[in-house]
């Protein structure tokens, strides 16, 4: 991308040198200023992608110029130049919002690489900000964000599908936003004024799920001391979202099939058939055709559910959305935690762009939330993300900033870290076998699934690891 660069230095020879290097080696447009006050006027006029400034200048030093630039345009990238003896000052400048620093005398390659990296990230950030504003006005999809072609296609299909009565099946890896798509469909449907009801088919035991879904009559079983409405009745005129439909038991698959075919159901223990006026949207991270081949999912139910199909991409397949999502989560958690954090440092964004994200969007959200909690400046830095130390972090080595949080917030953060570390090691020891991991931990498999979902952990990242307890494959 062609950018516009402002170079600020009180030494004319340095201005000429930098101007020559940049114009000879790149397509970027260069303007120069020997006076910091003139530089500020140039910034006010706008249109620059990058400012490169010296730190040691007589009328106004680089730190004050940096602060002035950030007051005018907090999003404008600034690179500072300094001699070896003042590197500490340069580091302080990065804390105040500079995206990088270069030591004098500098190598031509170093400054050219820095310029390309900064302008590339600046371009992505500005483009995504503009696209996000446009999407907010045109699409109205709330937290369902994306600017990549695959996400644009999903937005277009939501607009087409929402006003209809078609049954929808949403598939894709855990953490990709399947429930957000379901809510977006409901929000743009004719049923939007009525309820959107969610039921997690994994988290509720089979003997309870039927009652939750269809309701029960008084005396249907021990503890049924009065009639109870089910979620199908609660969703009358609205939408019922069946999350993790691939985990539904064979018995309930049969009863759900009748509901979809006939539009009728009976409460548990009842003998009166009731009519259902509900739109059904289901979601799963399983490959249902493979489940059918293994005899674990009804083929006729699959075709009833799969009238309209959305396949959501992993975050790795839509990396162009990472800056947009990252800034969205930054704003969200900065507000929740009452912190003034204006942006993500380019080097931190580079780290975020390079991750694999087996936990997809949910994993990115967790990383940003953690970063916001530990961030002590107005810019999210790479060290705030704790990426290398995520698995090895021990309680005794936690950052001092934990003690600055209220007790409840610090406790919640410690519990979240413990859950992720414990589950990660548990699944590693069992080769991703959730059933055996839950057995070893002494907890219900459904509860472990819920903890994994909250931590952004998926079994795919443990494929190929040996199960130290058993060589038997997991049946899920």
Q: Does one domain contain both 290 and 248?
A: yes
Q: Does one domain contain both 265 and 397?
A: no
Q: Does one domain contain both 224 and 94?
A: no
Over 60: is that where the pLDDT of 137 sits?
Answer: no
The domain boundary, picked from 311, 346, 378, lies at 311
Instruction: Tell me whether residue 137 is in a domain.
Output: no
Split into its structural domains, the chain has a count of 3
Instruction: Tell me whether residue 361 is in a domain.
Output: yes
59 vs 78 pLDDT, higher one: 78
The domain boundary, picked from 291, 311, 331, lies at 311
Which 3-state string (H, E, C) describes the chain? Answer: CCCEEEEECCCHHHHHHHHHHHHHHCCCEEEEECCHHHHHHHHHHCCCCEEEEECCCCCCCHHHHHHHHHHHCCCCEEEEEEEHHHHHHHHHHHHCCCCEEEEECCCHHHHHHHHHHHHHHHHHHHHHHHHHHHHHHHCCCCCCCCCCHHHHHHHHHHHHHCCCCCCEEEECCCCCCHHHHHHHHHHCCCCCCCCEEEEECCCCCHHHHHHHHHCECCCCCCCCCCCECCHHHHCCCCEEEEECHHHCCHHHHHHHHHHHHHCEECCECCCCCEECCCEEEEEECCCHHHHHHCCCCCHHHHHHHCCEEEECCCHHHHHHHHHHHHHHHHHHHHHHCCCCCCEECHHHHHHHHHCCCCCHHHHHHHHHHHHHHHCCCCEECHHHHCCCCCCCCCHHHCCHHHHHCCHHHHHHHHHHHHHHHHHHHHHHHECCCHHHHHHHHCCCHHHHHHHHHHHCCCHHHHCCCCECCCCCCCCC
Look at residue 5 in the predicted model and tell me its pLDDT.
93
The average pLDDT across 255-274 equals 83
Instruction: Tell me whether residue 468 is in a domain.
Output: no
293 vs 473 pLDDT, higher one: 293
Domain region containing 188: 149-311
Using one digit for the tens of pLDDT, what is the confidence trace for 391-420? 444 334 455 555 656 676 667 667 777 777
Average pLDDT of the residues of the chain: 82
The CATH number assigned to the domain holding 163 equals: 3.40.50.300
Query: Model's pTM, two decimal places?
Result: 0.60
The CATH number assigned to the domain holding 17 equals: 3.40.50.2300
Over 80: is that where the pLDDT of 205 sits?
Answer: no
């Amino acid at each position: 991308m062609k950018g516009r660069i402002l170079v600020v230095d009180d030494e004319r020879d340095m201005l000429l040198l930098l101007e020559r290097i940049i114009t000879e080696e790149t397509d970027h447009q260069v303007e120069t200023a020997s006076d910091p006050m003139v530089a500020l006027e140039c910034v006010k006029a706008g249109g620059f992608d990058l400012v490169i400034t010296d730190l040691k200048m007589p009328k106004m030093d680089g730190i004050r110029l940096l602060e002035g630039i950030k007051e005018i345009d907090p999003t404008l990238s600034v690179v500072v130049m300094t001699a070896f003896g003042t590197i500490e000052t340069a580091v302080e400048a990065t804390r105040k919002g500079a995206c990088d620093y270069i030591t004098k005398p500098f190598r031509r390659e170093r400054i050219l690489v820095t310029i390309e990296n900064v302008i590339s990230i600046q371009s992505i950030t500005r483009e995504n900000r503009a696209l996000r504003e446009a999407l907010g006005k045109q699409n109205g999809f709330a937290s369902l964000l994306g600017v990549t072609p695959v996400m644009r296609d999903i937005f277009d299909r939501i607009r087409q599908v929402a006003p209809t009565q078609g049954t929808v099946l949403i598939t894709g890896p855990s953490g990709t936003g399947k429930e957000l798509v379901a809510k977006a469909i409901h929000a743009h449907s004719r049923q939007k004024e009525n309820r959107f009801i969610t039921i997690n088919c994994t988290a509720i035991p089979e003997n309870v799920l039927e009652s939750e879904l269809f309701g029960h009559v008084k005396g249907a079983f021990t503890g049924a001391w009065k009639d109870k409405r089910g979620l199908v009745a609660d969703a009358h005129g609205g939408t019922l979202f069946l999350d993790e439909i691939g985990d539904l038991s064979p018995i309930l698959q049969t009863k759900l099939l009748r509901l979809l075919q006939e539009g009728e159901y009976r409460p548990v223990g009842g003998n009166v058939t009731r009519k259902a006026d509900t739109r059904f949207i289901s979601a799963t991270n399983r490959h249902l055709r493979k489940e059918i081949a293994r005899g674990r999912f009804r083929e006729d139910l699959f075709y009833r559910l799969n009238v309209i199909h959305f396949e959501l991409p992993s975050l790795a397949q839509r990396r162009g959305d990472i800056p947009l999502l990252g800034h969205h989560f930054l704003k969200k958690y900065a507000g929740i935690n009452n912190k003034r954090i204006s942006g993500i440092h380019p080097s931190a964004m580079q780290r975020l762009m390079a991750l694999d994200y087996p936990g997809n969007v949910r994993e990115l959200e967790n990383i940003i939330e953690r970063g916001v909690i530990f961030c002590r400046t107005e810019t999210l830095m790479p060290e705030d993300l704790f990426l290398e130390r995520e698995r090895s972090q021990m309680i005794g080595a936690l950052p001092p900033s934990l003690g600055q949080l209220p007790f409840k917030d610090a406790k919640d953060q410690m519990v979240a870290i413990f859950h992720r570390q414990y589950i990660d090691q548990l699944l590693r020891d069992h080769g991703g076998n959730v059933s055996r991991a839950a057995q070893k931990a002494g907890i219900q498999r459904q509860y472990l699934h819920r903890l994994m979902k909250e931590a952004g952990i998926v079994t795919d990242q443990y494929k190929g690891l040996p199960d130290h307890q058993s060589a038997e494959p997991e049946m899920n």
